[in-house]
Structure 1
Amino acid sequence: MTVRVFLVSSAESEAFGQARFDDGTSPLTAAGERRARAGASELPGAGAYSTASSVRCRRTAHLLGVDAAEQPALRDWDLGRWRGLRLDEVSAAEPEGVADWLADPGAAPHGGEALAELCARVGGWLDGRAPDGGRVLAVVEPAVVRAAVVHGLGLPPQAFWRMDVLPLTVTELSGRAGRWNLRCGRPLTG
């Protein structure tokens, strides 16, 4: 049976505006909070609700009026010792490490999770959704949305770097394990 998975990217946080590798504690901006409240009426209905464990995702879910269970498989990308740093800082300090990270899906110069591992983790969660059909909504980080699309469409991991996921957009994957269709980035507008 077909399952519909609605992935809602979290509202804008302070880390997003600074191009910072978030450590999971970055609060939402005031504008992000307003947009989440306003977008609640546009949220698609579902039979099951999940969220990542970050402050940003849990707060977004709350503002959207969603009572969601935290799912460990939906946690943000573990970027190890780069967490909390801005991309320009890491690029200046470790140019070879950043180059390897961008070129090789198996590389983890930061000591955290490789891109291939992220895609496999999120893909495992996606493929395990409601084999008997239904609708699932999850509030997640943009990296998780991108990993789900890469896995769901069977794209090469490098395609991850070619996608932008804006705050408070809904990406829909419908189908089942091994066969997913994509509906991209509908904004939640209040």
Structure 2
Amino acid sequence: MTVRLTLVCAPARTGRDVRFGDTEPDERALRRARAAAASLETTGTLYAAPSHRCRQTAQALGWLGVTVEAALRDLDMGRWQGRTPEEVADEDPAALTAWMTDPEAAPHGGESVGDLCRRVAAWMDALPDGAGRVLAVVDQAVVRAAVLSVLAAPAQSFWRVDVPPLAKFECTGRAGRWNLRLGDASPTNGSGRVAS
């Protein structure tokens, strides 16, 4: 049986105050998640990463019986946790540059991008062939790592994957081999049939 995996990127706070780590989604982000719920299937095994934003997003999506999965946790930002990229760049621009150009660098004392990519790929590959539909709310970095795993792209490509809030990434797999699954944007006539 083929595994059908859907990853949904949890929204964070809206606005420009981007910080490393787990920031709670604001009410606007949660409203957007509630509105997106209708476009997501909810049958199957449901997971959420351990962050507050992922668990709150799963709740806003109306997902019941969610399993919190530690392997889907966000990138460990070490001593940069809670800081803005601008603050880090002002204090140690060389460290920030190293982290963004070398996937094995972890100048913050946390986890490297390469480590994250290997962790996410291992979780995906450990899903049993009989898992069927699997849905998970995860942080942006986890979606990026999953995309690279499916495409067998090098970790240097991590920063080239744009993942907006509530983006949905779908793939199918069996026996550790994954394929990207593109959605259908055909206009429908309201009945689910393609309009003619």
Same fold by TM-score, threshold 0.5 exceeded? yes
CA shift, 1:100, in A, is 1.2
TM-score, normalization: structure 2? 0.87
- Counterparts in 2 of 1:3-152, with a 5 A limit? 3-13=3-13, 17-22=16-21, 24=22, 26-67=23-64, 68-152=66-150
Q: TM-score, normalised by structure 1?
A: 0.90
Runs of 4+ in 1 over 6 A off after TM superposition: none
Gaps of 5+ in 1: none
Q: Kindly indicate which of the two structures has a greater share of residues assigned to strand.
A: 1
Q: 1:24-82 deviations in whole A, cap 9, x for unaligned?
A: 2x221221111111111111233100000111000000010112110000011001000
* Residues 126-146 of structure 1: CA deviation (Å, up to 9, x unaligned): 111132251100000010000
CA contact (8 A) 1:13 1:56 kept: no
Q: Please give the root-mean-square deviation of Cα atoms over the aligned residues, in Å.
A: 1.8
| Inter-partner Cα distance in structure 2 for 1:13 and 1:177 | 37
Bigger radius of gyration among the two: 2
2:44 and 2:132 in contact (8 A); partners too: yes
Distance 2:170 2:95 in 1: 33
Q: Which amino acid aligns with 1:37?
A: R
Relative to structure 2, which stretch is displaced further, 177-186 or 88-97?
177-186
Runs of 5+ unmatched residues, structure 2: 185-196
Q: How many residues align?
A: 183
* Deviation per residue, 1:70-122 (Å, 9 max, x gap): 00000110010001010011111111111111121111000000111000111
1:184, CA displacement in angstroms?
Answer: 6.1
Q: Secondary structure at the match of 2:129?
A: coil
| Distance 1:40-1:78 versus aligned 2 partners, 3 A rule | same
**Which one-letter code corresponds to 1:182 in the other structure?**
L
Distance change >3 Å, CA 184–CA 28, structure 1 → 2: farther
